[in-house]
Amino acid sequence: MADSSLPRAVFLDALSLGPVDLAPLEQWCALTAWPSTAIGERLERLRDAEIAITNKIPLDGELLRQLPKLRLICVAATGTDQIDHAACQELGIRVHNAGRYSRASVVQITWALILELCCAMDQRRRDLAAGSWQRSPVFSVIEPEFDELEGQTLVVLGAGDIGRGVLAIGEAFGMHCIGLTSRSSSAELEAALRQADVLSLHAPLTPQTQHLINAQRLSWMKPTARLVNMARGALVQLEDLCAALRSGQLAGAALDVLPVEPPGSELDALLITPNLLISPHMGWSSRQARSRLVQTMAGHLQAYVSAEAASA
């Protein structure tokens, strides 16, 4: 039986975390976990909640003003762009995200994508399956050719905790590494993009960073350069990126995020865009990262319960 003294919490989209044990949360709240929640179901499900837990379900001001019992929002992710922060401040609702939980996972998948773009291992596997090595007149198959990363320039836009992890691996490869933040000047960004052999995006989505990578900024990059986006889909103007890839203005790109997720029929066109790799927003989701995410949220709940008890 649930402890009636514990605050009532509602997890709106627990299915988004995949198979993970939510028991650490239940130590600190009376938890109702819905697999997913439609926009029209939010109000009814949160009506009596003191705590809302959401991964990607938006919580806007109009909704929040109808939830007088709500005191805490736990975001089951790093980014909080789905939360109306101004309304939360107005209403005295605390917001906590789960920073740092996915660092190792995202860094690992970032480099998996960079290496795939640069080394084309999946293309080699397909060529071998088609008999390329068996037909070779010599012991090795060299095509498609690849270049070493050592000596190339890696630019990380969003050099926070995850970005610094990406830069550290670049340094281990012997790359020249440049870290920028979303507050870097336009002149700094242009200078870095003109040098970049690999551009890796890890910045938060804000009004200032939406479509930060667009036709103009892609035109600054070398035709041999490659781009990876592990942050938010809307950082990149997707139509401009596809045009750059089709024209050969950019050598390749890998996207773990898209502007609309899950995507609809527009994914079909993306999948046939030359030199574009798509992965299904999975960079954050190692088993270990998802477990750390739950533990991080449990810590926020514990702190909230302890503070409420102290003030009672």
Residues with a known catalytic role? 232, 261, 281
Distance CA 24, CA 6 (A): 14
Fill in the amino acid letter for 134.
Q
Please enumerate in sequence order all residues whose Cβ is within 8 A of that of 140, keeping only pairs 6 or more positions apart, or say none. none
Q: How far apart are CA 292 and CA 305, in angstroms?
A: 20
Could you write out the DSSP letters of every residue in 77-102? Answer: SS--TTB-HHHHHHHT-EEE--TTTT
Q: How far apart are CA 298 and CA 21, in angstroms?
A: 12
Write the DSSP symbol of residue 205. P
Question: In Å, how far are 132, 143, 146, 246 from 137, measured between CA atoms?
Answer: 10, 13, 20, 33
